[in-house]
Amino acid sequence: MSKICQKCKGNGFLRDGEVITLCECCCKKPKKKKQQPTRLSTLAIAGHLISKDRAKQYGSASKNFDDIARLWSAYLDQDLTKSDVSCLLSLLKIARLKRNANHEDSWIDLAGYAALGSEISGEIE
């Protein structure tokens, strides 16, 4: 019988007020059987990716989306904002999910783009 993590009580995520993060103890252990994703696990994984992994790889999401908006604006000859980038990337994931609704990574990415869009749209320019 396997031991249950005392930090997360076996859920795989930790909550500190409104902040949900992945439990590092549980994330390091390989899972024997793929478990059905839950809304909280999807949000926790997306939160981890956009605040740690992706932020380390690409830097500020706001700056990155602003760069993308300028490139897409030039290509399309139409003004786009970084909020537009978040919406368009979300639509890309929705189009992929239309073909394969069982692809967990697309759901995680969609949640991440929505969270980034929410944060970016609240920025004061």
Convert the pLDDT of each residue in 29-68 to its tens digit: 455 566 788 888 899 999 888 888 777 888 889 999 999 9
Greater confidence, 54 or 13? 54
Are 85 and 98 in contact by the 8 Å Cβ rule? The answer is no
Buried b (16+ CB within 10 A) or exposed e, 78-90: eebebbbbbeebb
Closest CA to 107 of 65, 53, 46: 46
Greater confidence, 5 or 78? 78
Q: How many CB atoms lie within 10 A of CB 40?
A: 13
DSSP-based three-state secondary structure for 20: strand
Read off the amino acid at residue 90.
Answer: S
Closest CA to 110 of 122, 96, 124, 125: 96
What does each C-alpha distance from 67 to 59, 112, 116 come to in angstroms? 12, 18, 15
Work out the percent of the chain whose per-residue pLDDT is above 90.
Answer: 49
Q: To 10 degrees, the CA torsion angle through 111, 106, 57, 82?
A: -60
